[in-house]
């Protein structure tokens, strides 16, 4: 009985049945058992550019870049994917070479394949804050504050809060890809604010 006739008789897809038959024949040729657990069914992505391991390396690199305030926006990830595929001489769709970047469809599917990633708005963070805001400096600040408070015995009425408003000259960064669930996302800029006008309360 032919594969198509057998599929029709048992109400199966003849393509899937043919693939299963070819897989079994290949296993028999290698001396494997018919009930080998390595037999798999289903469709394989014929135009997939990167392997699962390569995409995992890309995900780790994207998360590391976001953690050090150099997160990638979607277009930068698409350019990065093209440069990586070109570097390792991988087969890629022709439109990648025309635009020098991966397609939007590839990016959307890449995000679906890696649910740990999400697209979030980044807050502008100056280089000085990114490099200075660490555990040692924060502990030093609060130790000095404790010494001053103990020395001068400030009362609550002697402590004032000063607010500042102004017009910024720093551009708002684009949305970047980072780890899903991250509460605070930063992107390095030349400064956090531009020209500021400080408003002091009238006493």
Find where tokens 């490099």 sit.
131
Q: What is the number of other CB atoms lying within 10 angstroms of the CB of residue 123?
A: 14
pTM, whole model, 2 decimals? 0.54
Domain ranges in the chain are 1-44, 49-151+170-189
| 102: exposed, middle or buried (Cβ count in 10 Å: 0-12, 13-18, 19+) | buried
pLDDT for position 106: 93
Please give the average pLDDT of every successive group of 10 residues along the chain, which has 203 residues. 88 87 78 53 66 93 86 92 92 92 93 90 68 81 91 86 59 69 59 50 47
Q: What length is written for the chain?
A: 203
Q: Kindly give, in sequence order, each residue whose CB lies less than 8 Å from that of residue 97, ignoring residues fewer than 6 positions away.
A: 82, 86
pLDDT for position 37: 54
pLDDT for position 202: 46
Q: What is the number of other CB atoms lying within 10 angstroms of the CB of residue 203?
A: 4
């Amino acid at each position: 009985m032919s594969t198509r006739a057998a599929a029709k008789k048992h109400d199966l897809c003849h393509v899937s049945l043919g693939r299963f038959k070819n897989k079994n024949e290949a296993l028999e040729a290698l001396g494997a058992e018919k009930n080998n657990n390595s037999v798999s069914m289903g469709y394989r992505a014929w135009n997939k550019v990167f392997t699962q391991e390569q995409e995992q390396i890309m995900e780790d690199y994207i998360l590391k870049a976001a953690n050090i305030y150099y997160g990638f926006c979607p277009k930068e990830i698409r350019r990065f994917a093209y440069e990586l595929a070109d570097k390792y001489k991988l087969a890629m769709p022709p439109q990648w070479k025309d635009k020098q970047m991966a397609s939007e469809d590839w990016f959307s599917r890449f995000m679906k394949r890696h649910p740990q990633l999400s697209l979030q708005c980044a807050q502008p963070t100056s280089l000085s804050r990114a490099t200075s805001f660490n555990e040692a400096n924060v502990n030093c600040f609060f130790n000095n504050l404790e010494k001053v408070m103990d020395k001068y015995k400030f009362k609550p009425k002697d402590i004032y809060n000063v607010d500042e408003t102004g017009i910024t000259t720093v551009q708002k960064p684009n949305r970047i890809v980072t780890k899903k669930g991250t509460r605070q996302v930063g992107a390095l800029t030349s400064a956090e604010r531009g020209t500021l006008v400080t408003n002091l309360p009238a006493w």
